[in-house]
Chain A
Amino acid sequence: MSIELKSNVPAGPLAEKWDRHKFDLKLVNPANKRKHTILVVGSGLAGGSAAATLGELGYNVHCFCYQDSPRRAHSIAAQGGINAAKNYPNDGDSVWRLFYDTVKGGDFRAREANVYRLAQVSVNIIDQCVAQGVPFAREYGGLLANRSFGGAQVSRTFYARGQTGQQLLLGAYSALERQVAAGTVQMHTRTEMLDLIVVDGQARGIVTRDMVSGAVETWFGDAVVLGTGGYGNVFYLSTNAKGCNVSATYRAYKRGAAFANPCFTQIHPTCIPVAGEHQSKLTLMSESLRNDGRVWVPKQKGDTRAPGDIPDAERDYYLERKYPSFGNLAPRDISSRSAKEVCDEGRGVGPGGRGVYLDFADAIARLGEDTIRERYGNLFEMYQRITDEDPYKVPMRIYPAVHYTMGGLWVDYNLMGTIPGLFVIGEANFSDHGANRLGASALMQGLADGYFVLPYTIGNYIATHKLAKVDASHPESRAVVAQVNERMRRLLAVNGTRTVDSFHRELGKLLWEHCGMARNAEGLRTALARIPELRAEFWKDVKVLGTGEELNQSLEKAGRVADFMEFAELMCRDALVREESCGGHFRTEYQTSDGEAKRDDERFAHVAAWEYTGDDSPPVRHVEPLTYENVQLATRSYK
């Protein structure tokens, strides 16, 4: 069975597509909605908002999360803000401008119609969140405050101190719990999805493991929604929560869902540098800090003077120098790469020379310490807690870290994957950010998908498909459950000598080296040769203690790392074929003489979506051409 990538973008002028489409979508009779079951996996901004909204509409919803409460999904850690084309500051923003900035920021590798819709519904998100009681920052007059954020020249970012993700997620969570109380949503916490059940070509159910009792269970419905986040933890060290994983989307891929642009990963420029081998994760410092902080390194190689002892003339404010119009606010990919360059030149600061300064001295002199404290107080505290240095006095040290993954399961305009009935929302899909996501756009997309897009499109699917009843006795379900159990049995049976984490760390290092901020064919081939070996070692030598019938955190990790081991290969393969540099994907062979990314629109103005064909045969690369009817493909320039 070969995959066909039909985007299903509706006809008509860009600005009218979504409205027309909403009218064309079939509706489910309100009295019948409760007879339709929808399985939502993940309870972050996308999954949580979708489950709540579908519950409000009257569907019978089951929502699953691996955490002990839906309030803990990793959306909670987003700091900076959420974009919306409200144009409250009257500074020239519009739906069109947000759309254009997002397409351009994504280096023209996103689907135009999806991005336009995202910009359109962005305004509804703010309304919804305010009504839920999200305590956004306000001006003295009682109106909402806005700020400019990473790469935008208008102030369109709404924020709640440095905890915007937390507040938006708690808003979605409260809506979700309201539906739990109302009986429309059943919440299954500490429950991990281990596989997808496809019956007659349609996604009909999932297999889960109860992470306390170990019970393997099946769940069935009319549709399955994956809001399971990104795969940044394939690098081991990332800003993701420790539990974030690729398993749900990768299992779906192995059941026939195409995986799009897996090589598009975002390296965030402002994270706290690695302190040592024990490092278990990296902590992001919101890039809102770049609004007031200035990034610099010493001009001199190997300059070990304390930052305060280096006179201004001997500092290189390299972002301001290279990108005079955007300066410290240059987009994430550009800022990250520039940091890597200066460190590669031997001008990095801090232990190991893998860091650059983010300096607030000028802003504190200009605005006063109180203003800076008001804007970033909690971030400064967090930094001090981790590094034991006071950023009010000494410049922060930052270095890029894996943060977000633009790639994900391929979806059409209705957010449905290549398996009918499988919907994918938020970071788990590939659709809106192209090759690079702009700051404050992840929260926007997660909530757009969950509150305002999926609830419409999934109704159309349900209204237009008559589905036979499926339960655990179905042969397909039994087969999948047997495979899940067999895999766990194998993991437990290896009883080798190395811990799961030691394998994960090794995989992460390999990818960071060869498929990180800069990639080239040689490195990718090295990784592609090494990954299968490492995978074989994993299955021969991993040590997972205990049983499957208990709370067993090693077993949970082992299952996720086993998927990362396979997924890593897909990522490198995708990076190798894409012989161009675009957004977060920088191939050193494809750059201009002054080191800027060189896109190849002739050959690569498309989405690459991979089809699984079996463990022993290479995946097939399918292509969805990207056609731009409303914007002109331009070379991104932030100079």
Chain B
Amino acid sequence: MNLTLHVWRQPDAGSAGRLERYEARGVSPDMSFLEMLDVVNEGLIEKGEAPIAFDHDCREGICGSCGVMINGVAHGPMAGTATCQLHMRSFRDGDEIVVEPWRARAFPVLRDLVVDRSPLDRIIEAGGFISIATGNAPDAHAILVPKQDADSAMDAAQCIGCGACVAACPNASAMLFTAAKVSHLGVLPQGQPERDRRALGMIAQMDLEGFGGCTNYGECTEACPKGISLETIARMNRDFRVASLRARPESAAAAGAP
């Protein structure tokens, strides 16, 4: 296959960027999208031009490093698929493909297709955990978890933190990402003691990072390579409201306790 690419090139966060045109020749349908970019990059380097920078690592759809807008769609045309697992058989000979980085105020472009997703880590820091220090755990069988709860926790826990939900959302909201973690921990018995704090803390951080609000477009779940469901957002909204109603200022001593 021969393809024409229009790729976002931007030398660094402070510079302006623009779309550049590249011809990708002799592309095999068995290549992944990133392997196609590899081949383009090899050609660029040989010509003495800077290769296209893009994030990637495991290339098996689980690390969440990769992700670009392909013709305006996060992770491209195949549903439930991260960019690294998208294969060129999804395209046709002669196609023109526009490749851009995630677009969101909270994700500044670092170079070309690479963006800064550290706000997602800070949302987790704000409560996406169960406070249990190493060695404190009771026997694993001391906590019974109904299978359906374990399964629904797992459904939400599959989030790979790629940021496609943010990129796909017209509001650049991180609700699906945040809700996936709130749901994962919130349906498990282990997660109950901190359920209120978690919802309040993570949502506050999400707002602080400059992500937009959720207005139920549902673009996020469509773009999600792991099929995280909108139900998680409903669950988080409920947790947030309940927590807001129940919220009492913590005593100074309690707030400072480890």
**Contacts from A to B (Cβ < 8 Å):** 49, 52-53, 56, 67-72, 74, 76-77, 86, 88, 124, 126-133, 135-144, 160-161, 163, 166-167, 170, 173-175, 177-178, 180-182, 187, 189, 212, 241-243, 275-276, 278-281, 283-284, 381-382, 385-386, 388, 451-452, 455, 497, 499, 501-502, 543, 545-546, 550-551, 553-554
Contacts and interface: CB of A to CB of B under 8 A. Distances in A.
A256 B48 CA distance: 38
Nearest to B86: A385
A227 B184 CA distance: 28
Contacts of B190: 130-133
Contacts of A553: 51, 53
A455 B133 CA distance: 12
A550 B14 CA distance: 12
B148 to A, nearest CB: 9
Interface residues of B, number: 80
Interface in B39-74: 39, 42, 45-46, 48-51, 53, 55-65
A298 B65 CA distance: 40
Given A68-B65, A502-B42, A127 B157 contact: no
Given A131-B137, A189-B121, 4 more contacts: A72-B58, A127-B140, A130-B190, A163-B158
Interface stretch (B111-119, B168-176, B230-238): B111-119
Nearest to B12: A550
A69 B81 CA distance: 21
B141 interface: yes
Interface in B97-149: 110-111, 114, 116-118, 120-121, 124-126, 128-141, 143-147
17 contacts: A68-B55, A68-B118, A77-B60, A124-B135, A130-B190, A133-B130, A141-B144, A143-B141, A144-B141, A181-B125, A241-B63, A243-B57, A283-B60, A385-B61, A455-B134, A501-B38, A551-B111
A69 B150 contact: no
Contact of A177 (B58, B128, B146, B185): B128
B118 A69 contact: yes
A497 B185 CA distance: 52
B81 A551 contact: no
Interface in B160-207: 160-161, 184-185, 188, 190-191
Interface stretch (B1-9, B25-33, B215-223, B245-253): B25-33
Given A88-B141, A166-B62, A178 B131 contact: yes
Contact of B121 (A71, A278, A502): A71
A185 B140 CA distance: 27
B32 A69 contact: no
A278 B85 contact: no
A275 B35 CA distance: 12
A258 to B, nearest CB: 29
B210 interface: no
B31 A132 contact: no
A307 to B, nearest CB: 20
A77 B45 CA distance: 30
Most B Cβ at <10 Å: residue of A170, A388, A545:
A170
A126 B140 contact: yes
Contacts of A161: 154
B87 interface: yes
Contact of A142 (B136, B146, B154): B146
B30 to A, nearest CB: 4
A181 B129 CA distance: 11
List of 10 A-B pairs having minimum Cβ-Cβ separation, nearest first: A142-B144, A174-B129, A131-B137, A127-B137, A135-B154, A135-B153, A181-B125, A138-B150, A241-B57, A130-B140
B60 A382 contact: yes
Given A388-B89, A545-B48, A180 B125 contact: yes
Contact of A127 (B116, B121, B139, B188): B139
B139 to A, nearest CB: 6
Contacts of A177: 121, 124-125, 128-129
Interface centre among A74, A126, A141, A174 (most CB of B within 10 A): A174
Interface of B: 11-12, 28, 30-32, 34-36, 38-39, 42, 45-46, 48-51, 53, 55-65, 78, 80-81, 85, 87, 89, 110-111, 114, 116-118, 120-121, 124-126, 128-141, 143-147, 150-151, 153-154, 157-158, 160-161, 184-185, 188, 190-191, 258
Given A76-B62, A243-B57, A280-B32, A451 B125 contact: no
A132 B132 contact: yes
B132 A77 contact: no
B144 A451 contact: no
Q: Is the interface of B mostly helix, strand, loop or mixed?
A: loop
A278 B31 contact: yes
Task: Specify which of B39, B55, B124, B153 lies most central, judged by the most chain A CB atoms within 10 Å of its CB.
Answer: B124
Contacts of A187: 121
Contact of A175 (B34, B116, B134, B188): B134
A318 to B, nearest CB: 27
A86 B63 contact: no
A457 to B, nearest CB: 14
Contact of A501 (B42, B50, B125): B42
Contacts of A76: 58, 62-63
Given A135-B154, A385-B81, A554-B51, A497 B191 contact: no
B38 A280 contact: yes
Contacts of A133: 130, 153, 184-185, 188, 190-191
B58 A241 contact: yes
A135 B188 contact: yes
A163 B143 contact: no
Nearest to B150: A138
B170 to A, nearest CB: 24
A56 B134 contact: yes
A160 to B, nearest CB: 6
A170 B38 CA distance: 29
Contact of A135 (B126, B141, B184): B184
A385 to B, nearest CB: 5
Nearest to B29: A388
Given A133-B190, A554-B45, A545 B147 contact: no
B81 A71 contact: no
Contacts of A52: 134
A178 B127 CA distance: 8
B51 A144 contact: no
B57 A67 contact: yes
Given A455-B134, A551-B12, A163 B62 contact: yes
Given A386-B85, A501-B42, A69 B161 contact: yes
B5 to A, nearest CB: 16
A74 B62 CA distance: 9
A77 B134 contact: no
A77 B62 contact: yes
B125 A77 contact: no
Given A135-B154, A138-B145, A382 B61 contact: yes
Contacts of B50: 545-546
Given A281-B59, A386-B87, A167 B38 contact: no
A132 B129 contact: yes
From B11, B30, B80, residue with most partner A Cβ within 10 Å:
B30
B58 A74 contact: yes
Contacts of B146: 138, 140, 142
A127 B138 contact: yes
Contacts of A88: 141
Contacts of A554: 45, 51
Contact of A140 (B63, B121, B147, B188): B147
A636 to B, nearest CB: 31
Nearest to A142: B144
Of A451, A499, A502, the most chain B CB neighbours within 10 A belong to A499
B63 A135 contact: no
B39 A278 contact: yes
A175 B46 CA distance: 45
Among A141, A166, A177, A278, residue most surrounded by chain B Cβ atoms (within 10 Å): A278
B244 to A, nearest CB: 21
Nearest to A66: B57
